[in-house]
Every structure is written in structure tokens, then in C-alpha cells.
Amino acid sequence: MRIGRTGSARRRMLALTPLIDVMFLLLIFFVLSSTFVKYSSLEVSRSQPSSNAADSDAIDPRGQRLLPDVIIRLKANGRIDINGIPVQRGSLAAVLDKHHENGARSVVMTPSASATVQDLVSALEQARLSAFQTIELVK
């Protein structure tokens, strides 16, 4: 007959499998219950180029070639020119509104090879705040 402890002398190890299962369940719960940021988007439609070069030049009924009223040029380091005049990035919408009030109907934006995509998106966002409904983006 033994006298002393009646259980095993060895310590019981804590089982990790149930703890891992609980951690995975918590992870799934928090991932599914979290909200994700919805980013705003810009709608850019691409026009189809014509096969004939004469068709690509718009001609009015008087036989004159139509040019856009406002030409926006994006240059390196975020610089913007409207019809050859330098404009600050933050005042692009106000300048476009002035052109719209003066009767301008069409806007064309041309990025240079040194302009970054961020410069283009920033300029498009600013131009979107103006009174013009459509802004053409050309290469």
C-alpha cells in the first residue's frame, strides 16, 4: 500500500489545440465584423480612335477645324498649364469655372511623359469640381 500522493507525480501539460481553435474563431469573427474603407473612384471613359486621320479632326459647318476651348497640360512635379498659362494646383477648378463662364465648352487634358499618375489623378479630381461635365484625356 502506498502512502502519499494518490495522483500521478507528473504535471499535466496544457493542451494547445483548443486554444488555437479559439484564436482562429476570434480572428474570423473580427475580420468578418470589421468595416472596410470604400475608396472614391474617378470615371474615365476611353474613346475609340478612328482609322482615318481626316475623321479624327473635327470640322465645323464652315469648314474650319474645331479645337478645344481649354487645353490643360500636366508637366513634371505637378505643374499645370491652362492654355499656356501656369496655374496653381489648388486653383484649377476656379480657373476652369472662369473659362466655363466665358463660354468655353470643351476641355482637353494632356499629361507629359514626366508627369506622374498621382499628378494626373489630382488634376482630374480638381477638374471634376469645376462646371465642366466632360474632360477629355489625350496622350
pLDDT (tens digit per residue) in 36-78:
777 666 666 665 554 444 444 455 566 555 677 889 999 988 8
Residue 62's pLDDT is 62
What are the pLDDT digits (tens) for 78-113? 889 998 889 988 888 899 999 889 888 888 899 998
Distances (CA, A) of 112 to 48, 72, 84: 21, 11, 14
User: For position 53, what pLDDT does the model report?
Assistant: 41
Average pLDDT of 10-32?
Answer: 86
The answer to whether position 21 is within a domain reads no
Q: Does residue 125 belong to any structural domain of this protein?
A: yes
> Sign of the CA dihedral 108, 118, 91, 126?
positive
- C-alpha–C-alpha distance, residues 107 and 132, integer Å: 8
| Rg of the chain over all Cα atoms, to the nearest angstrom | 32
pTM above 0.75, yes or no: no
Cell of 69: 476651348
pLDDT for 29: 92
pLDDT > 80? residue 21? yes
pLDDT of res. 28: 93
Average pLDDT over residues 106-127: 88
Q: What is the pLDDT of residue 51?
A: 46
pLDDT above 60 for 18: yes
Would 45 be classed as within a structural domain? no
CATH code at position 103: 3.30.420.270
Domain holding 92, by residue range, is: 68-137
Distance CA 24, CA 26 (A): 5
Instruction: Give pLDDT, residue 52.
Output: 45
Residue 70 CA to residue 87 CA, distance in Å, equals 13
Q: Is 13 contained in some domain?
A: no
Residue 105 lies in a domain: yes
Does the residue 118 lie in any domain?
yes
**Can you list the alpha helix ranges (DSSP code H) found in 5-138?**
17-33, 53-56, 92-101, 117-128
Residue at 62 is within a domain: no
Residue 56 placed within a domain: no
Count the domains in the chain.
Answer: 1
Per-residue model confidence (pLDDT) at position 24: 95
